[in-house]
Structures are given as C-alpha cells and as structure tokens.
Amino acid sequence: MAFSSMAFLFGFLPLTLLCCFLIPARFRTGRNTILLLFSLAFYGWGGIRLLLVLLASCVVNWGAALLAAPGRRHRKAAFVTALVLNLGMLGYFKYTGFLLNNLNALGVDVTVPSIMLPAGISFFTFQAIAYLADVYRGTIPAERSLPRLTLFMAFFPQVLQGPILRYGEFAPALTDRRETAADAADGAVRFCFGLAKKVLLADALGQIADGAFVAGDRLTAGLAWLGAIAYTLQLYFDFSGYTDMALGLGRIFGFRLPENFNYPYVSKSASEFWRRWHMTLSFWFRDYVYIPLGGSRCSRGRQVLNLLAVWLLTGLWHGSAWNFVLWGLYYAALLMGERFLWGRALDRLPAALRHVYALVLITIGWVLFRCTSLGQVGEMLSAMSGAAPGGAWSGEAAYYLRQFRWELLAAIPAALPVKNWLAAKLEVRRASGSRSAALTLALAPKLLALTLLGLSTVRLLGSTFRSFLYFQF
C-alpha cells in the first residue's frame, strides 16, 4: 500500500488515526499496540507470505540481540550467526536471480526460480543489523519486549523506504513521546508537501524519463539530456517526497524520524552530494562498514580499498544488476578522485563552476542508475555526448518540453532551499515586529499544504497509479 494511493489516504490513515487517538495518551502501551497492529496490516497488504518474512526477521533479531548483549556467554557466536542470517535472507530474496542469471550467461545451465522480493527488505535488514551491532558493542541495551522491537522494525511510515532508523534514537519515544496538536499540524503539512512532490512532480517527470530511456533509434542528444535531467529530478522528488510523508506521519504520532535529504542538488562536489542525499544510508555505511574497516585512519592504499568496498556494497544494496555495480564504482572513483587528486583544485574554482561540475556528474550517475542494461548505458551516454542515432533534436523532445513545461519549471525552485530562504526572511521581519510576517509564517504553509492536497487528490483520481521508485530496494 503506497502513501499516494486512495486506499491509504482515505481509508487506512484515517482509521489508524481514529483508533490510535481514541486511546488516552497515558495508556502508552495501548497506543503502541495499535500502531504495531496497523503497521503489520500495512505491510501485510502486499501479501501474508511477505509479512511472515518481516516477522521472522523481528523474532530472530530480538532473540539474537538478547544472546549477544555484553555479559552473555558465546555472545560473539550469537552476533555472527544473526548477521549471517540477516545477510543470507537479503541475499536469497534479492540476489539469487542475479547470481543464477549470470551463471546461465557463463554457460552453466541452472533454473532461475521466481522469488518475490519483500518490500523494503534492504531497509529493515539494515535496521536490524544496526540494532544488533549497537547491542553487541554495548551502545544500547537489548530490547526485552518483542512487540516494541517489532514496532521499530515494522513502523509503517518508514518500513518500505526508510529513513533507516537506529533503535537507540527510536526507543525513548516508545514511552516518553508526546503527541501535540502543533506537531500534528506540522506533520500534516509536511505530509502534504511530500505527497505533492510525488504526485504532481515526480510522476509527471517520470513520463519524460520513461520516453527518453526507451527511445531506441529515435534517441537524440536533446532527448537524452532531457530524459536524464527529468530522471534526476524525478528520483529526488519521488524519494524525498516519500521521506517527507514518512517524517510527517511520524511527527503526527509523536515520533521524530531522522532527516534523509538536505537539498542535495545544491552540492558543489560528489562528496557533498553524498552528505546530503539519503543521509541515513550514508551514515549506516560509515558507522557499520567504513569505520570498522579502518576508515581514513590508515594508509592511502587501505583507504582506497575501504572506499571500494563501501561503494561496491552501496551499488549492490540498491539493486541486483550490473548497472548498479557500475554506479557504485563510478561514485567510488569520483570520491577517491576528489579526496586524493583534484579536490584542492576543485575548491579553488568559482562556486558556479563547482555547481555545474557536480550536477553534470550527478546526472551521468543517475543515467547509470536508471538504465536496465550495460548496453543501454552505452546508448544513453553516447547520445548525451553527441553521437545519437536520431541527431541533435527531435519533435519528441519538443513535445515533452511543451507537455510538461510547468512541472519542469516548478521542479527547479522545489529542488532548491527556496522555502528556507523565504522563511528566514519572514522570521527576521517577524522578529522586528511585523504582524503580516508573523501571520504569513503561521498560515501560508498550511494553506499551501491544503491546496497541494487538493491538487494531488485530483491528479490521483484522474491518472494511473505509479509506485515509488525505491520500493524495489
């Protein structure tokens, strides 16, 4: 069930809110139980067998953490066993087909089974591994309540696409959170903005990207660049839109989930981009892979190996295909280049040139990410470099520009911190005593959110449903 579906917006969510807030706030366990039951129902909407996979992961990691806590005998064996089980489950569901297909390509005749991928398995598996590692290190105590840990793993606002949570940050809110009308209003506003990102911008821009990436012999240089730019924007609005909805829902229920995006397209380097994009994933790889491997406190050769390992795993985490491996290695090369080779020269360039440098490299990276085969990667990059089968421009590219001109124009300020700039200026005026500024700060976001909710609902009623891009991960 997607947040942008009518079933969620006008069925599941209102019922969850009603059942949760009918229980007085002092009965915290009761509200947690309601959230757990609705979270399991939300995930089970995709199939009971897939829900059983999530529940099995919760039970295994709950028990393993109790056995791996400091002071327990054989705790290292418990931790390693649980780690192998988590990675084995992720490997079976996500990479079995990839491995067997490659064996077939090498001439080994094997049957490739049809394995349904549980939604969000990469996200909840990484949460489980982080929880186990933190318990094993003694950073947090093991959770003795299975329902509480299951709510952490299955919490419906973020189970499908993150952000990736840490139990040490989530657990206190299970007992000490306070749900307020102000937080609920702020959460609802953020949810509406995220919904608009997905429905009004990402889905429209996706039509341009889809057309360009399947153009084949019709592909022109202009269409290739237009499709690449459209996909660059689509992926941001799709994923950050989901994150806004997740954080907004969490805020309504009294949970403050971690930020996952910080306007990544204002970056001036690939390194800065990854400090702003999917931040909880970057922090996860930093804390549980890069630093344990030695991080940057080692020889340059070892740093190179550490970065290669992290980015190879990052690519594979995103998908079981060679283009994702290539995408991960591409960023490994960029980040190593900025760290060891041209980083100082880059810092001396004017800010505008650094923006262009970053945006071009990021866009090329998303082409690697979007393509379904290495052959298609070559076709798109060749077209973007000027060697397109259809020449420089076409009527198809002009059609997309005319058809989606308003979405393209709206996408540019929406991807920039324009809202923050305006809010900061209004805050200065409000602090100086301006009543109009205070009124604008109080009412404008809510009125805009209501408008966007109405427009999004109209668009949903009149268009075909498009799933979130990161559901496949």
**Res. 139: pLDDT tops 90:** yes
Whether pLDDT at 105 is above 80: yes
Confidence band, pLDDT 50/70/90 cuts, at residue 93: very high
Using CA atoms, how far apart are residues 279 and 286, in angstroms rounded to an integer? Answer: 10
pLDDT in tens, 364-392: 999 999 998 889 999 999 999 998 888 88
CB 323 within 8 A of CB 372: yes
Say what the pLDDT of residue 471 is.
60
* pLDDT tens digits along 246-268: 999 999 999 999 999 999 999 99
Q: How high is the pLDDT of residue 473?
A: 58
Delimit the domains of the chain by residue range: 14-177, 183-461
* Distance from C-alpha of 385 to C-alpha of 399, rounded to nearest angstrom: 22
User: Which whole number is the average pLDDT over 145-152?
Assistant: 97
Supply 131's token pair: 């929880």
pTM given for the model: 0.94
Phi/psi region, residue 113 (left: phi>0; alpha: psi -120 to 50; beta: rest), is: beta
Catalytic (active site) residue 355: no
Average pLDDT over residues 408-437: 88
**257 in Cβ contact with 232 (< 8 Å):** no
Look at residue 332 in the predicted model and tell me its pLDDT.
97
Let me know the angle formed at the C-alpha of 174 by 58 and 85, rounded to the nearest 5 degrees. Answer: 15
pLDDT given for residue 431 in this prediction: 85
Return the pLDDT at 428. Answer: 85
Q: What is the pLDDT of residue 465?
A: 62
3-state SS record for the chain: CCCCCHHHHHHHHHHHHHHHHCCCCCCHHHHHHHHHHHHHHHHHCCCHHHHHHHHHHHHHHHHHHHHHCCCCCCHHHHHHHHHHHHHHHHHHHHHHHHHHHHHHHCCCCCCCCCCCCCCCHHHHHHHHHHHHHHHHHCCCCCCCCHHHHHHHHHCCCCCCCCCCCCHHHHHHHHHHCCCCHHHHHHHHHHHHHHHHHHHHHHHHHHHHHHHHHCCHHHCCHHHHHHHHHHHHHHHHHHHHHHHHHHHHHHHHCCCCCCCCCCCHHHCCCHHHHHHHCCHHHHHHHHHHHHHHHCCCCCCHHHHHHHHHHHHHHHHHHHCCCHHHHHHHHHHHHHHHHHHHCCHHHHHCCCHHHHHHHHHHHHHHHHHHHHCCCHHHHHHHHHHHCCCCCCCCCCHHHHHHHHHCHHHHHHHHHHCCCHHHHHHHHHHHHHHCCCHHHHHHHHHHHHHHHHHHHHHHHHHHHCCCCCCCHHHHC
Distance (Å, whole) CA 144 – CA 130: 17
pLDDT for res 1: 79
Sign of CA dihedral 264, 234, 367, 295: positive
Q: Are 237 and 205 contacting, i.e. CB atoms less than 8 angstroms apart? A: yes
By the 8 A CB rule, do 75 and 50 touch?
no
Give the pLDDT band of residue 472 (cuts 50, 70, 90). low
In 3D space, the residue among 284, 278, 328, 287 whose CA is nearest the CA of residue 307 turns out to be 328
The encoded tokens of residue 292 equal 């344990």
List the single range of 105-109, 149-153, 175-179, 282-286 with lowest mean pLDDT: 105-109
Q: Is the pLDDT of residue 47 over 90?
A: no
Question: What mean pLDDT do residues 49-68 have?
Answer: 96
Mean pLDDT (the chain) is 93
Alpha-carbon distances of 106 from 99, 114, 187, 326, rounded to whole Å: 11, 20, 52, 19
Q: In whole angstroms, give the CA distance from residue 292 to residue 350.
A: 36
Q: Which residue has the tokens 């590692």?
A: 133
Q: Which of 74, 278, 318, 355 is catalytic?
A: 318
